[in-house]
Amino acid sequence: MTTYTGTNAKIEVGPGVLRSDQLAQELIKAQAEERMAHADYRAAIDRLNETKTYTTVLMVEIATRSFAQAGVVFGKSVIRRKDDPDVEYLAVGVRSEGTLMVRYRTKTGKWFKTAQPLWCVTADKIDIVRNEE
């Protein structure tokens, strides 16, 4: 058996030992398999992200229709939670998880400019007080 030693590599040539060209071919084959596996992984991640997007759109659509069927007009309907009837909110929309977005009333009686999420509220848990102009 003959041993060749370089700066960073040691190649043995002899019976039953792989030659450097065989090692190179196996390395090229392994790299190609790794590239294919990574491409399959990226394709699966892209499909997952696409599914998440469709799910988010579907959740918003379901929530929007649910509130619309309950009579909520976004930007005009003043609502109350059935479990907390003392506080009024102005319903302004639905965010990506299907959460109702509302504006709170200021001390002077005006509505805040920024909307806040009203968590764990579905259309059956609110009452419409009135519609503002």
- Summarised one tens digit per residue, pLDDT across range 58-110 is 999 999 999 999 999 999 999 999 998 889 999 999 998 889 999 998 888 88
Instruction: Give mean pLDDT, residues 98-126.
Output: 89
Q: Compute the distance between CA of residue 50 and CA of residue 121 in angstroms, rounded to an integer.
A: 27
Residue closest to 133 by CA, chosen among 67, 64, 77: 77
What is the reported pTM?
0.65
Residue 14 or residue 72, greater confidence: 72
Per the CB < 8 A criterion, the answer to whether 117 and 104 are in contact is: no
Per the CB < 8 A criterion, the answer to whether 58 and 98 are in contact is: no
Per cent of the chain over pLDDT 90 is 52
Rg of the chain over Cα atoms, rounded to whole angstroms, equals 32
DSSP letters along 50-114, please?
Answer: HHHHHHHHHHHHHHHHHHHHTT--TTTEEEEETTEEEEEEEEEEE-TTSPEEEEEB-TTSPBPSS
